[in-house]
Amino acid sequence: MPARRTLYCLLRASHLLAICWMLGVSVTASHAATAAGPYDQLMARLAEQKQTGRLRVTEVGRSGNGRVIPLVAIRPIATRALPRTRILIICAQHGDEPASAHAALELIQRSAANDKPEALLSPHTRHLLGGKLAGLKDVLWLIVPVANPDGYNAGKRLNGAGQDLNRDWQRATQPETRAVRGVFDTWKPNLVLDLHQWSPDDPPPADNGLEMVLRPESPVQQRLERHIAVSALRAVTSTDRRASLVTASPRSTPTLAHRYFAAQGVAAFLIETAARDTQAQRKALLTDMILVLSNVCASVPADTRAAAFRNSGEFIYPREFASWLRGQQPTQPGRDTGRTLVAAGVAAGFWALLSALHLKSRPTFLATSDEILSEGQT
Ligand SMILES: [Zn+2]
């Protein structure tokens, strides 16, 4: 019977289609379950670190495609006093520059694992700094580990709407720039660090660099920024690593993050990593640079900072946040203090010996207000 045969064939075909559809769905589902993109991996690592209780992760906005833009609040070294230095660190606003996100995660992990300064430092940095990290006890890091979640997930420079976020800070037309500006307005940071990396396609020199904006209308701010930048660069460079200070003219486009934030009256730097370097070398430079810049900025005398930067007065922490911060104390402060004193004694003796031998000194992190603000210091 032709009619019955046709019906039979149709039934067979529909069965086959149903089986194919079910297979397709299950394959897609298992793919989604196993192959998390870079953004999901980053969020999973943050969630893991959050279990330590040492960091706070909040949502400060959503990307154009609806991904959460997280803010991580963490202290590199906890003490009883509330930190006076708040540092905003912006990572991966160009989604194809992942070293900054990796550096942020590294510092979050090191800080969450231990309260002791030595735990924060790689052997390389420890050697470069000689243990002068007292400033870090006065620091709260406000880290945006991925400012461009859609671009980061796709490995692309631009955001989901095809916009370059680092040309959008003045107008803030994108949800991502608006979210980070909201963090700035709420937390009133004293220092803003915007992290990037040169790609091998960029024209030479495409080298490690710290860029600050020359602001002749704010000479005091400019001098202190230069002091911080030069001190940090001296500390992170060595025979096998170079980095330089780049100064941008005030006429250069103010739509870049660090230029926008510098215009708000705070210290703000853009950090680039060399095109020739591996991702691991870039990550190492960025972690060293963040640690050293944070330390130098927090070590500047309070009156000097107040004279040069906005946001340097007293900051009132929200009550709940303040009690959380106070809870982040080292477990054995007495023992730590003893150890610190012994270490300070040993370091002082070693330093006296080095000076006696006329060896080249490492940078000075503490300077008096007069030294920093005098014309001669620029
Ligand atoms: Zn970039």
Q: Where are the domains of the chain?
A: 38-308
What pTM, to 2 d.p., does this model score? Answer: 0.81
pLDDT at 11 over 80: no
Quick one: pLDDT at residue 5? 59
Tokens, residue 216: 């002749």
Q: How far apart are CA 58 and CA 315, in angstroms?
A: 20
Statement: residue 280 has pLDDT above 90: yes
- Ligand 1 centre to CA of 366 (Å) is 31
Give the residue-averaged pLDDT of 97-102: 98
Ligand 1 centroid from CA 69, angstroms: 18
For position 26, what pLDDT does the model report?
44
Expressed in angstroms and rounded, the spacing between residue 95 Cα and the centre of ligand 1 is 8
CA of 197 to the centre of ligand 1 (A): 6
Backbone angles phi, psi at 373, to 5 degrees: -90, -10
For residue 93, the CA-to-ligand 1 centroid distance in Å is 7
Q: How many CB atoms are closer than 10 A to CB 194?
A: 27
Distance 209 CA to ligand 1 centre (A): 12
Q: d(Cα 79, Cα 209) in Å, to the nearest integer?
A: 32
pLDDT greater than 70 at residue 367: no
Distance in Å, CA 146 to ligand 1 centroid:
12
For residue 253, the CA-to-ligand 1 centroid distance in Å is 15
What is the 278 CA–ligand 1 centroid distance (Å)? 16
> What is the spatial distance between Cα 289 and Cα 68, in angstroms, rounded to a whole number?
27
CA of 368 to the centre of ligand 1 (A): 35
pLDDT surpassing 50 at residue 253: yes
Query: What tens digit of pLDDT does each residue of 168-216 get?
Result: 999 999 999 999 999 999 999 999 999 999 999 999 889 999 999 998 8
More confidently predicted of 271 and 79: 271
**Ligand 1 mean position to 96 CA, how many Å?**
8
CA–centroid distance, residue 328 to ligand 1 (Å): 34
Q: What is the pLDDT at residue 335?
A: 47
170-179, 287-296, 330-339, range with greatest mean pLDDT: 170-179
In this model, does residue 159 exceed pLDDT 70?
yes
**280 Cα: distance to centroid of ligand 1 (angstroms):** 17
Q: What is the pLDDT of residue 3?
A: 52
In what side-by-side order are the strands of the sheet with 191-195?
55-62, 68-74, 139-144, 85-90, 191-195, 267-272, 209-213, 244-248
Residue of higher predicted confidence among 18 and 81: 81
DSSP H stretches of helix in the chain: 2-34, 38-50, 99-113, 117-120, 123-129, 149-154, 175-187, 219-236, 257-263, 279-299, 302-308, 319-326, 333-356, 369-373
Tell me what pLDDT residue 101 has.
Answer: 98
Q: What is the CATH number of domain 38-308?
A: 3.40.630.10
- Centre of ligand 1 to C-alpha 57, Å, is 24
Q: Is the pLDDT of residue 319 over 70?
A: yes
**In angstroms, what is the span from residue 271 Cα to ligand 1's centroid?**
9
Residue 374 confidence class, pLDDT cut points 50, 70, 90: very low
What's the rounded mean pLDDT across residues 285-298?
A: 94
User: How large is the average pLDDT for residues 70-99?
Assistant: 95
pLDDT value at residue 375: 38
- Residue 265 has a pLDDT of 93
For the segment 299-314, the average pLDDT, to the nearest whole number, is: 92
Distances (CA, A) of 269 to 126, 195, 225, 354: 23, 9, 9, 33
Measure 334 CA to ligand 1 centroid, in angstroms: 44
Which segment of 122-131, 146-155, 162-171 scores lowest on mean pLDDT?
122-131
Distance 270 CA to ligand 1 centre (A): 9
Compute the average pLDDT of residues 104-124.
Answer: 85
Q: How far is the CA of 72 from the centre of ligand 1 (A)?
A: 21
What distance in angstroms lies between residue 374's CA and the mean position of ligand 1's atoms? 34
- The whole-angstrom separation of Cα 28 and Cα 227 is 55
